[in-house]
Structure 1
Amino acid sequence: MLDNNLKTQLKAYLEKVTQPIEIVASLDSSESAHEMSSLLNDIANLSSQITLTEQRGADERTPSFSLNRAGSNMGIRFAGVPMGHEFTSLVLALLQVGGHPPKADADVLEQIRALEGEYVFETYISLSCQNCPDVVQALNLMAVINPNIRHTMIDGALFQDEVAARQIMAVPTVFLNGESFGQGRMSLEEILAKLDTGAAQREAAKIAQKEVFDMLIVGGGPAGASAAIYAARKGIRTGVVAERFGGQVLDTMGIENFISVKETEGPKMAAALEQHVKSYDVDIMNLQRAEALIPGENIEIRLAGGASLKAKTVVLATGARWREMNVPGEKEYRNRGVAYCPHCDGPLFKGKRVAVIGGGNSGVEAAIDLAGIVSHVTLLEFDSHLRADAVLQRKLFSLPNVSVVTSAQTTEVTGDGNKVNGLRYTDRKSGTAHHVELEGIFVQIGLLPNTDWLKGTVALSNRGEIEVDAHGRTSVPGVFAAGDATTTPYKQIIIAMGEGSKAALSAFDHLIRSSAPQESKVAIAA
């Protein structure tokens, strides 16, 4: 199951295990069970601390396996073969069950230990989902730390009857004690915030006590991270307030155009950004959404949690979000057939009919990827022609199960009350209305800047982007901006990083000039 190179790497990791691990597998005669047995035997042979017991149909979900510290029930189960993006989740679970200390802040670990009550989590994932491992790893860690917590990872492609019964059409989807808990990427801190209802108030009180920052960065994506690093290296008091550190990079699958890095994945890059920022003296305030900017000698940023922060200079790096179609039915059926991440949710539509909205690079790439999973893809483009690169279009038109409709204006998402069953569109040339029967819709029509909270305070373009000059200055003195939220052309990670660095340097220049003493007049005796 594992190649020699991976075995060598895993063996080195397993040397960190200090306590015996018991793996108990529930198997049947399926191909997936055979793969699971092969994987687990490979792992057990790599460490004398690991024992494997194989049983026939011993759990309600088969094939599956549990990880336990010898003599105790850790409450961690994998219902599926955790390869692909989830292999890291398996390795971390092995290390943590085996006594290796987790990489989490001490106050977060204490918050987990303090949770009272019984928590049984179930997380439905797909092995191609880059957002799922964060949720799986967070809940596994919580199960290791708190004996009242149980967690099972479930591969939706393997347990399709459950997916259908629970009407799961997006991953990750988390259930707590049998009830829906959440969908989409969630960090450990976000999960704790939902469970520990007093955490937000405690954090707001803590934030309210903070002194004035020399530079405050709003946003934790590539632009915000680079601004924070450049500011901190100047030795000034630097803070970052972010709704989620990493920003849209967390939702990006493959990155192949970041110079000097041949290829990587968004979550890996986001984690590296956060670790780099944390290596400096930067006050990171995560899970905090900015609601208002109030200009003044000290600029005030008001947060949704009720607290406010003040700073001598501010760098706005709030990024962008997926653009929605804004048609009837879209919000009603979001995560019930309407999706925005083909890599994450595509496997849930295996053998089904789907549509992709958008004929740019993102839309065409999504259609190509989905064509290998679903029965048929209908791509709809508003313009009279596709806008994707020629090489992508050639690949798209070579696929036998893809239809392309141009000059198509989507007008409605239709459903049966529980899930999507089609969409309506109008032919912009003839005015003819059409209805396409399908089970899924993937929206890929670009981005919207996260700037609604700045309207009336900072000058915005007609597209809602923050207007900046060559130095990253905005219309408000002391306020600078960078990244996808600005009028800077070409929304690329590498450009956002450069613009974030530039904005921080410009803000630092403003800071030292505005704080310099006034020129004094010296009387000269005649």
Structure 2
Amino acid sequence: MLDANLKQQLQNYLGNLKTPIELVASLGDDAKSAETKELLDEIASQSNKVTVVEGGTNARKPSFDIRRADDHSASVTFAGLPLGHEFTSLVLALLWAGGHPPKVDADVIEQIRNLDGQFDFEMYFSLSCHNCPDVVQALTLMAIYNPNVTATLIEGGTYKDEVEKHDVMAVPAVYLNGEPFANGRMDVKEILAKVDTGASARAAEKLAAKDAFEVLVIGGGPAGASAAIYTARKGFSTGIAAQRFGGQVMDTMGIENFISVDYTEGPKLAAALENHVAQYDIDVMNLQNASKFVPATQKGGLHEVLFDNGASLKARSVIITTGARWRQLGVPGEEEYKNKGVAYCPHCDGPLYKGKRVGVIGGGNSGVEAAIDLANIVGHVTLIEFDSQLRADSVLVDKLKSFANVEIVTSAQTTEVTGDGKKMNGLVYKDRDSGEERKVDLDGVFVQIGLVPNSEWLKDSGIDLSDRGEVKIDERGATNLPGVFAAGDVTTVPYKQIVIAMGEGSKAALSAFDYIIRTEPAEEIAAAAQAA
């Protein structure tokens, strides 16, 4: 089950166990149960503090509980094998159940312990989903540190009947107390914000108590991280306020053009950014969604950013790096069947369509890469492109055309997503050459048609935006307002790439530095005038 290298790593990790743990197995006579028993035995063989207990009573077979031997309430349940992307989650569950402290803030653990009520979570994941581990690990942490929280983490490939019964068409899919709770990547702080009714007010109170920053970065993606590092290195008091640290990089799988790194994955890069930022005195304020920008009334004054929770922050200079999000089709049926056949992440949700017919909308690099990935999993892929030809790199187009189960349709405008009320069953497109409408029967569709800048909060702020909503900047990353800069995918800079965003973030930071050292604070000017 585990190769020699993984066994050695596991043995090293399990050396950190503080207290004994038990693996309580609920098994049947099937092959999956035999594999589960083999995995549990191999884990137990790596530490004398791990014991396998057979005869578990869970109705899901195979499944197993990881629990502290002296406190059975500190436990989490896996149904199916947590391998692939979830092997790390399995290791962390073993360590946390065994008393090894998690690498999260102490106030997060305290917030988990203070949750009031009963929270029974069920979550479906796939082994190829790179968004799922964050959710698996968050629910595991909550179940181990609060006896009123239970977490059953279900591998969809093993429990296909449940997946079909619940019409799960996108993972991670989380249910709370039997009702749908959330879809998509979430970390523990995001889940706590949804279940802890007082979390928003407490976060707002913390923000309100902060002094003004010299530089405030809005957005925590590659551009925001690089901007904050550069200003912090200049000795400026720096804050990052981000809706989600890592930004859209968290939803990116394979990255092969990040110079000097042959290959990495979005979540790994985001973690590296977070670790780098942590090396400096940077105040990171996550889960903060900016709602309004109020510019300073005079040069050298304090700009103000308001947030959804009612709090605000002030700074002498602001760097806007709020990035962009996936563009939606904007056609009838898309919103109705989102996560019910309409999806945006082929890596996460592709395995749910094994052997089925799916569509991909978009002929750029993202769309063609998605179609290539899906062609290896599903029965058939129909790629639909608005333009008369695919716009992806030729090497990708050539690879796509090598698949026998791929059909490419160009000059096609998608006009509707159809369904039966519960899930989508196809789409309608118009042939742009003939004007004829055609229907394609599909079990799912992946939308890959580009990005929309996250700039709605800047409306009526005085900051110049392009017709597409991008923040207009000059060659220094400066906007039309003194002391306000921008970088990355939210701006008018062409070529939305990670490496470009990082460079633009650094440039905007250096421009902010230059602005601050050359601009006397307005309050000091006012004080001097009053004294005279």
Residue in 1 aligned with 2:154?
A: 154
Does the CA-based 8 Å contact 2:68-2:75 persist in structure 1?
Answer: no
Residue in 1 aligned with 2:474?
A: 469
Partner deviation per Cα, 1:397-454 (whole Å, 9 max, x = no partner): 2212111111110000011111101100000000000111111010011111111221
TM-score (norm 1): 0.96
Residue in 2 aligned with 1:524?
A: none
| 1:411 matches 2:415 | yes
Residue in 1 aligned with 2:349?
A: 345
User: Once the 2 structures are TM-superposed, how far is the Cα of residue 265 of structure 1 from its aligned partner?
Assistant: 1.4
Equivalences for 1:194-213 in 2 at 5 Å? 194-213=194-213
1:62 and 1:248 mapped to 2: Cα distance? 37
Does the CA-based 8 Å contact 1:409-1:426 persist in structure 2?
Answer: yes
Residue in 2 aligned with 1:67?
A: 66
Does the CA-based 8 Å contact 2:75-2:97 persist in structure 1?
Answer: no
Does the CA-based 8 Å contact 2:362-2:383 persist in structure 1?
Answer: yes
1:177 and 1:336 mapped to 2: Cα distance? 21
Name the aligned partner's letter for residue 71 of structure 2.
Answer: S
Equivalences for 1:387-406 in 2 at 5 Å? 387-406=391-410
Q: 2:517 aligns with which of 507, 512, 519?
A: 512
Q: CA RMSD in A?
A: 1.5
1:23 and 1:318 mapped to 2: Cα distance? 44
Equivalences for 1:23-172 in 2 at 5 Å? 23-55=23-55, 58-73=57-72, 74-172=74-172
Residue in 2 aligned with 1:432?
A: 436
Residue in 2 aligned with 1:265?
A: 265
- Tell me the SS of whatever aligns to 1:484: helix
User: Once the 2 structures are TM-superposed, how far is the Cα of residue 21 of structure 1 from its aligned partner?
Assistant: 1.1
2:465 and 2:34 mapped to 1: Cα distance? 58
Residue in 1 aligned with 2:16?
A: 16
User: Once the 2 structures are TM-superposed, how far is the Cα of residue 516 of structure 1 from its aligned partner?
Assistant: 8.0
Structure 2 unmatched ranges of 5 or more? 526-532
Name the aligned partner's letter for residue 366 of structure 1.
Answer: A
1:401 and 1:48 mapped to 2: Cα distance? 50
User: Once the 2 structures are TM-superposed, how far is the Cα of residue 279 of structure 1 from its aligned partner?
Assistant: 2.2
Name the aligned partner's letter for residue 478 of structure 2.
Answer: R
Partner deviation per Cα, 1:246-272 (whole Å, 9 max, x = no partner): 100110111222222222211121122
CA shift in 2, pair 1:363/1:100, >3 Å = same
User: Once the 2 structures are TM-superposed, how far is the Cα of residue 34 of structure 1 from its aligned partner?
Assistant: 2.8
| 1:358 matches 2:362 | yes
1:398 and 1:34 mapped to 2: Cα distance? 38
- Tell me the SS of whatever aligns to 2:220: coil
Equivalences for 1:232-271 in 2 at 5 Å? 232-271=232-271
1:204 and 1:324 mapped to 2: Cα distance? 31
1:208 and 1:400 mapped to 2: Cα distance? 59
1:35 and 1:463 mapped to 2: Cα distance? 53
Residue range with higher mean Cα deviation, 443-452 or 36-45: 36-45
Does the CA-based 8 Å contact 1:75-1:149 persist in structure 2?
Answer: no
Residue in 2 aligned with 1:502?
A: 507
When the two structures are aligned, how many residues end up with a matched partner?
A: 518
2:258 and 2:362 mapped to 1: Cα distance? 24
Where in structure 1 do 4 or more consecutive aligned residues deviate above 6 Å? Answer: 516-519
Name the aligned partner's letter for residue 149 of structure 1.
Answer: V
- Tell me the SS of whatever aligns to 1:82: coil
User: Once the 2 structures are TM-superposed, how far is the Cα of residue 75 of structure 1 from its aligned partner?
Assistant: 3.2
| 1:281 matches 2:281 | yes
1:486 and 1:444 mapped to 2: Cα distance? 20
- Tell me the SS of whatever aligns to 1:471: coil
1:285 and 1:66 mapped to 2: Cα distance? 35
Residue in 1 aligned with 2:530?
A: none
Does the CA-based 8 Å contact 2:428-2:440 persist in structure 1?
Answer: yes
- Tell me the SS of whatever aligns to 2:516: helix
- Tell me the SS of whatever aligns to 1:239: strand
Name the aligned partner's letter for residue 295 of structure 1.
Answer: P
2:58 and 2:459 mapped to 1: Cα distance? 55
- Tell me the SS of whatever aligns to 1:75: strand
User: Once the 2 structures are TM-superposed, how far is the Cα of residue 130 of structure 1 from its aligned partner?
Assistant: 0.7
TM-score (norm 2): 0.95
Partner deviation per Cα, 1:262-318 (whole Å, 9 max, x = no partner): 222111211221122122111111111111111112111111111111110000000
User: Once the 2 structures are TM-superposed, how far is the Cα of residue 392 of structure 1 from its aligned partner?
Assistant: 1.6
Q: 2:426 aligns with which of 422, 428, 436?
A: 422
Does the CA-based 8 Å contact 2:224-2:505 persist in structure 1?
Answer: yes
- Tell me the SS of whatever aligns to 1:378: strand
1:315 and 1:88 mapped to 2: Cα distance? 35
1:259 and 1:40 mapped to 2: Cα distance? 41
- Tell me the SS of whatever aligns to 1:365: helix
Name the aligned partner's letter for residue 196 of structure 1.
Answer: D
Does the CA-based 8 Å contact 1:225-1:277 persist in structure 2?
Answer: yes
Residue in 2 aligned with 1:460?
A: 465
